[in-house]
Amino acid sequence: MPFKTITYYLFLADINLNIRIENIVGNVIGFAPFGLMLPLLSKKFRRLKVVLLATFCLSLTFEIVQLVFHFGSFDVDDLILNTLGGVLGYIPTKLFMNSRKKLSQYM
């Protein structure tokens, strides 16, 4: 069920606050480099929609591998947080590329 784990960690969990934050923030931060690097590696990944889809697919692959090989559990919230991380990583790259493009227009 979407947002079940996120809600549990944010509002209901009787576990250490650091563990809750590390779980949520760790999933986001873990995929930020992916979103950051994709547009730099290939022109195909310079649109938000493409980066979002690629990040979602990579995260889904990880979740399925966990499920099949019993490395962990399949969690739809991990898909959400990982995809969010990829998108958040994409934003600075896009801003940098746009500012560089504008700067080159003035030269």
Percentage of the chain surpassing pLDDT 90?
67
Average pLDDT (57-73) is 94
Residue 9: predicted pLDDT: 83
pLDDT in tens, 24-56: 999 999 999 999 999 999 999 999 999 999 999
Give the angle subtended at the CA of 22 by the CAs of 16 and 26, to the nearest 5°.
Answer: 165
Global pTM value: 0.88
Distance, in Å, from the CA atom of 35 to the CA atom of 30, rounded to the nearest integer, reads 10
Confidence check: pLDDT of 73 > 80? yes
Confidence check: pLDDT of 107 > 70? no
Distance, in Å, from the CA atom of 58 to the CA atom of 34, rounded to the nearest integer, reads 10
Residue 101: predicted pLDDT: 82
